[in-house]
Amino acid sequence: MNQCRFATELEERLLRYTAIDSQSDAASATTPSTPTQFDMLNLLLAELSGIGAKDVTLTGYGTVLATIPGTVAGPTLAFLAHVDTAQQYYASGVKPRVVRNYKGGVITFPDDPALTLSPAHNAYLGTKLGDDIVTASGTTLLGADDKAGVAIIMTMAQHLLSTPGLDHPPIRIAFTPDEEIGRGVHPSLPADLAADFGYTLDGGESGRIDYDSFSGDTAEITVTGVSVHPGKAKGKLVSAITLSSKIIAALPQATMTPDLTELHEGFIHATEMTGDASEMKIKLILRDFELAGLREKVDIVQKVCDAVQATEPRATISVNIRKNYRNMRYVLDNDMTPINLARQAMKTLGITPTSEPLRGGTDGSRLTELGLPAPNLFTGMQEIHGPLEWISVQDMNAAAEVCVAIAMAAGASGDHV
C-alpha cells in the first residue's frame, strides 16, 4: 500500500470531529438523545454532499445515509460508524492534540500533569514507535470512539469519489447516533441501507476483525419498601436501600463481575442504583457469548431477588429483563463472506488479520440480528471512554486502506456499469 497516503486527511478530520461535543444521554427519550449530535450529523450531511455522494439524507431517526455509486456490478456494501461519544466521562470541550513521531516512554497531558500514558499501562502503545499519536488534553475523553470510524469512512468515500478508474460495487454509508447507549440501529435501517452486507468501523488494534461478540440483556430491578418516620419505625419500616444492598451482596461477586472475567467469560455488572429508603432502582447489564450462559445469568438475578423477597414479604421486588443485542457469530458462522473479504483485503496490504472475542457489542450486532451481516473492523482506538483515550494516525490510515481494498475486492469480478 502507499505509505500513509491518507494520513493528513485522516488527522485533519479526526481533530475537527473530536472537537465537537456529541455525547449521548441514556436518560433522554429523544432521537438522537442529545441535540448536540445534530452538530456532527449536519456537518457530515454537508460534507458528503460536497464530495459528490448521492442520495444524501438525514432520516427521521437521526441517521445520515449516502451512496457511492458503483462502477462495476457486485454486492452492495455498507460502511457504518456512530457519531455519539460515551457518557461515562466528560466529553465537552475536547482539545485534541498530536504527539508527533512517538519515541516511546511516557505521554503526559497538558491539562492534568498527574495523568500519564505509557507502554507499561498499555502495551499496544509500545508497538507504535514513530507513529503520530492523538490524545485529548487530560480532562476529557478524546472521542476517537467512534469519530475515528467516521473519519476513516469519509476518507474512503472521498478517495473513491475523486479517483477515476477504480472498480467497486455500490457502497452505502451510514452514520448513526446513540450507539453508546444501545439505540444506534433503528429497525428501518437495514431496509433503508439495502445492502448485502456491511462493516462497522468501531474496533481497536490494527488487523482486528470482530464477529464473535457478547450477547447482552439489561435487568432492571425495582425494590419498593415501606416508608415510615424513622422515629416511629420499629416493626414498621422496610428499607428499600437495605434490601437493595442485600441483592447486590448476594450476586456472584467473586466469580462473575467484569473485573474478574476475560475472553469468553460472561458477567453480571451493576451499573446504576438510584432511589431512597422507600424505593430503589437497580440496573444490571448481563453479558455472555452464548445464549445458554445469558439465560443462566437472568436466572441468577431472578433467584437472588426471589430469595431477598422471601425474607421480607412486606416489600415488593420486581425484575424486568430487557433484550439488548445478540452475538453476531450466530449469523456469520453460516456465511463468512464479509469476514473472508476483509481478511483477503488485509492480506493484500500486508496486514495480519486477527479475531478475538469482542467483550462488548457494536451497531453491527443489532444489524446482523436484523438481517444485515456487519462484522466490526479496526480503527486503532485505545483506552476508550476515559481521559487516556488515544489513537495512532497510522492505524487509521491502515483502516482506510482496508476499506478501499474491500471495496475493490468486492468489485474485482464485476462487469462495468
Res 417: pLDDT:
61
Please state whether beta strands 390-392 and 171-176 pair in parallel, antiparallel, or not at all (unpaired). unpaired
Confidence at residue 1, expressed as pLDDT on a 0 to 100 scale: 46
Query: Exposed/middle/buried for 114, CB within 10 Å: 0-12, 13-18, 19+?
Result: exposed
Residue 156 confidence (pLDDT): 98
Residue 416 assigned as binding residue: no
The residues annotated as belonging to the active site are 84, 179
| Domains detected in the chain | 7-212+327-410 (3.40.630.10), 215-324 (3.30.70.360)
Residues 282 and 271 sit within 8 Å (Cβ to Cβ): no
C-beta separation of 366 from 213 below 8 A: no
Q: Is 82 annotated as a binding residue?
A: yes
In the numeric block, which cell numbers belong to residue 392? 495512532
**Gap between the Cα atoms of 83 and 259, Å rounded:** 28
Helix axis angle for 37-50 and 144-162, nearest 10°, is: 10
- pLDDT at residue 254 in the model: 84
Cell for 243?
434490601
Residue 202 in marked binding region: yes
* Residue 102 Cα distances to 127, 167, 392, angstroms: 10, 36, 10
Average pLDDT by stretches of 10, the chain with 417 residues: 85 98 95 97 98 98 98 96 96 97 97 96 97 98 98 98 95 97 94 98 97 96 93 91 96 92 96 96 97 97 97 97 94 95 96 94 93 97 97 98 96 68
Instruction: Extract the C-alpha cell encoding 179.
Output: 450507539
Closest CA to 83 of 50, 46, 48, 34: 34
Q: How far is CA 322 from CA 188, 217, 282, 325, 343, in A?
A: 20, 6, 13, 10, 35
Instruction: Please indicate if the annotation marks 121 as binding a ligand.
Output: no
